[in-house]
Amino acid sequence: MNDRIPTREEQDGDGEVRYRMLYESEDKVYIRHIRGFYTRIRKYTGLPLLALFFFIPWLNIEGRQAVHFDLPARQFHIFWTTFGPQDGFLLAWLLIIAAFALFAVTTWLGRVWCGFTCPQTVWTLMFIWAERICEGDRNKRMKLDAGPWNAEKILRKGGTHAIWIFISLATALAFVGYFYGIRDLVVDLAGFQAHPQGVFWVGFFTFATYMNAGFLREQVCKYMCPYARFQSVMYDRDTLTVHYDARRGETRGPRKKGIDYRAEGLGDCIDCYWCVQVCPVDIDIRDGLQYECINCGLCVDACNSVMDKMEYPRGLIRYTSEDELETGKTQLLRPRLFGYALVLLLMIGLFVQQVVTRSPIEAEVLRDRGARLFRESQGLIQNVYTVKINNMDQAPHEFTIRVEGKVGYDYTLRMPRDIYLKAGEIFAVPIRVSIAKEQLKDAKHDIYIVVQAVDKPELVDKHQTVFIGPKR
Amino acid sequence: MSTFWSIWVIVLTLANLALVTWILFANRRVAVSDQEDPENRTTGHVYDGIEEYDNPLPRWWFLLFIATLVFTGIYLAIYPGLGNFKGFSGWTSVGQLENEEAKAREKFDETFGLYVEMPIEEIADNREALKMGARIFANNCAVCHGADGGGNYGFPNLTDSDWLYGGSPEDILKTIHEGRKGTMPPQGPVIGEAGVRNAAEYVLALNGLEHDTAMATEGQKIFGSVCYVCHGPDGKGNQAMGAPNLTDNIWLYGGSREQIQHTIRSGRSNQMPAQKEKLREDKIKLVAAYVYSLSRQEEVEQ
């Protein structure tokens, strides 16, 4: 264990007693810049995703923001669909799917989510890129931090923090824009007339991004992140994670290029420490698999570039499994992974089916909670219902209501003249269903209330309820 | 809170804060003993041969503690919390409630204010206004009059064209605003039991219902001497005093022989409560327009 928090001691005033401090700052991690296969994967998957994140709020459909989570109106516009609070179960499904996807991927590839797509890692690496642009690579940064404050240091550090704040602000604006409406947000902020809550959240997310990606960084993964805590449970012997091939690498040691090092009893590892210097969570992968490792592959790229220089075969540090290191073969098809994948596919299928068959109109029927079950008037038996119509479509509609009941019964329906609901409106319509007393033969029978849009007949919802009459 | 308890609370709170702060700072370091291995300090816990290192906690952990203490100080300065000290912001829960109410009033003025000047006939043709009226009705009136306004035993039907006190917009507005008191005085002591039975037969006859002709003829005499005063010589009622029309087969208390007899014998009294104390003027106007529009809803034969 070489990555423990260093302990500091301090002396009492008279030097009698020495004290050990129980709270210590971690050493700052300085990452050496490295290029390679896995870095490229991260770049070419991450940049489009980032571009999407920043660009999506600016998309407009039919004069409104395409993706807009309108909290005050409780409407969640996602492109051509609008979801409401009653679609919460869909969100729950989505989150469960995401959880199972994490389980399946973690079982198969270890913590690749953490290493490649987690915003914590992505933003941290963006911030480190800013450091490199302004202050240079690892050694230069360490020198600069250790050195005295002078004009150059102020300029370089200032540049770093300017870029950090710019990225943080852009992130906060984009994020809040999903909720506030990005065009309004930018215009309101520029005109100093934004809603105080909007201003607060932009400030909050700017600050949080700046502190998090600028200073907390890998400590979030080590101490705070709940997923990091339980992802290790999903690892098994065949999980593909970053391993150092100790059998090939040991005994490590420096050597000249081109000599027969085996004869000197050395392994392939030249002990150059590059794999440690590039590591964003500051571990030495050669100590074996550790809980901090986020499977980001930076040490793989670093080691491969060194192996290339030495003209040794690649893969001294590589994505492999414990099983392969011991037996030479990874067992990919295993019950656990198969089970996760099956459940995941099943749930994705169900989710898609739910979303596709979701009707943008919903009707609830409540029997009138009056003093009596039915009303008798002018030789008619009357039942009163309240039909709560929720128009979740993105256009206003006029609706009609009709009753479908028992064959042979002549129902009379009384309802308001025009039932017109704006997009996203919910309205409760009282209706009265009557049957002639001599016609009614049942004390109780099922009827269906059908709500349908006049101009769009496919918007229809049918609800079962009960018609109650006098005892026979 | 009396001064003593106020001081008690303040002292306890501040003493606790000071204690917590002291504990935090006193425990940020330990004295080093000479026996311990400086590289591999453990907590002394051993489970299955696994030992636990005694590494320092991260500094930001310590700073978070301090941040909570600072937050406490700021909170107690701004909001009430220290005994009788009200905080510098002057926040009170009542004040917050009044603020919210003022905001709600403002919003109502914005939405309902449009209709204050509008005549009711015009509101009754306004789609959005009727929706508001319907919602107000559902929340305040439907309990008695039914969700559809169709009434219940003892509560008038608002969807037909029969009005006790008149169905003009002004009448409806006055009914909701001031309320109504309807009284049918008991006639049993006045006309006797035989008179009650005869009068009931005549009322049945007025509605074209099955009745005893001989008794109805007797009843007509009683009606001409007593009942006509309120219900009119032809039994068509009188909206000025809320006397119902007895010829249209619409009944507030049932139209069976027994029910009619009971009404005549023992009388009825009823009250529509005044809403002016409970609802804003503009809400009353909207709901009046909705009631006005109810009798013009459509019936669909299916």
Residue A386 pairs with which residues in a beta bridge? A366, A430
Confidence label for A5 from pLDDT (cuts 50, 70 and 90): low
Structural contact between residues A323 and A237, judged by C-beta atoms closer than 8 angstroms: yes
Q: Which helix (H) or strand (E) holds B39?
A: none
CB < 8 Å to A406, chain B:
none
Query: Cα(first)–Cα(last) distance of chain A, in Å?
Result: 85
- The string of DSSP letters for A266-325 reads --S-----HHHHT-TT---GGG---TT-----HHHHHHHHHHHHHTPPS-SEEEE-HHHH
Peptide bond into A7 cis (omega under 30): no
Interatomic CA distance for residues A142 and B48, integer angstroms:
42
Q: Which helix (H) or strand (E) holds A244?
A: strand A241-244
The model's pLDDT over B58-115, given as tens digits with 9 standing for 90+, comes to 888 899 999 999 999 999 999 998 888 888 888 999 999 999 999 998 988 888 888 8
Phi, psi angle pair for B235, to nearest 5°: 75, 15
Structural contact between residues A76 and A66, judged by C-beta atoms closer than 8 angstroms: no
Per the CB < 8 Å rule, is A9 touching B300?
no
Q: Is A20 on the interface with B (CB under 8 A)?
A: yes
Three-state SS for B32? Answer: coil
Query: Cα(first)–Cα(last) distance of chain B, in Å?
Result: 69
CA distances from A332 to A106, A236, B294 (A): 13, 11, 71
The model's pLDDT over A270-303, given as tens digits with 9 standing for 90+, comes to 999 999 999 999 899 999 999 899 999 999 999 9
Per the CB < 8 Å rule, is A415 touching B297?
yes
Confidence label for A162 from pLDDT (cuts 50, 70 and 90): very high
Residue A328 has pLDDT above 90, yes or no: no
User: Which residue has tokens 């309807």?
Assistant: B182
Residue A467 pairs with which residues in a beta bridge? A445
Per the CB < 8 Å rule, is B147 touching A368?
yes
Structural contact between residues A19 and B29, judged by C-beta atoms closer than 8 angstroms: yes
Phi, psi angle pair for A439, to nearest 5°: -80, -30
* CB-based contacts of B152, cutoff 8 Å, min separation 6: A370, A371, A372, A375, B144, B145, B146
Q: Which amino acid is at A184?
A: D
Structural contact between residues A421 and A391, judged by C-beta atoms closer than 8 angstroms: yes
Q: Which helix (H) or strand (E) holds B116?
A: none
Nearest-by-CA chain B residue for A12: B31
Residue A218 pairs with which residues in a beta bridge? none
pLDDT for res B299: 64
Confidence label for A347 from pLDDT (cuts 50, 70 and 90): very high
- The string of DSSP letters for A72-92 reads TTTEEEETTEEE-GGGHHHHH
pLDDT for res A50: 94
Residue A127 has pLDDT above 50, yes or no: yes
Read off the pTM: 0.76
**Which of A76-90, A174-188, B178-192, B220-234 bottoms out in mean pLDDT, i.e. has the lowest?**
A76-90
pLDDT for res B13: 94
Mutate to test the interface with B, among A11, A14, A19, A20 (most CBs of B within 10 A): A20
pLDDT for res A2: 46
Per the CB < 8 Å rule, is B146 touching A410?
no
Per the CB < 8 Å rule, is B297 touching A414?
yes
Structural contact between residues B150 and A375, judged by C-beta atoms closer than 8 angstroms: yes
User: Which residue has tokens 């200073």?
Assistant: A215
Confidence label for A12 from pLDDT (cuts 50, 70 and 90): low
Residue A1 has pLDDT above 60, yes or no: no
Q: Is A403 on the interface with B (CB under 8 A)?
A: yes
Residue A397 has pLDDT above 80, yes or no: yes
Mean pLDDT over A209-234 rounds to 90
Residue B30 pairs with which residues in a beta bridge? A20
How is residue B236 written in tokens?
A: 């068509």
Structural contact between residues B154 and B252, judged by C-beta atoms closer than 8 angstroms: yes
Mean pLDDT over A445-454 rounds to 93
Angle (CA) A109-A114-A115 rounded to 5° is 75
How is residue A468 written in tokens?
A: 């109650």
Nearest-by-CA chain B residue for A412: B301
Interatomic CA distance for residues B302 and B297, integer angstroms:
16
Mean per-residue pLDDT of chain A? 89
Q: What is the pLDDT along chain B (302 residues), one digit of tens a residue?
A: 889 999 999 999 999 999 999 999 988 888 777 666 666 777 788 899 888 888 788 888 899 999 999 999 999 999 998 888 888 888 999 999 999 999 998 988 888 888 888 888 888 888 888 999 999 999 999 989 988 898 888 999 998 888 999 889 999 999 999 999 999 999 999 999 999 999 999 999 999 899 999 999 999 999 999 999 999 999 999 999 899 999 998 999 988 999 999 999 999 999 999 999 999 888 999 999 999 998 776 666 65
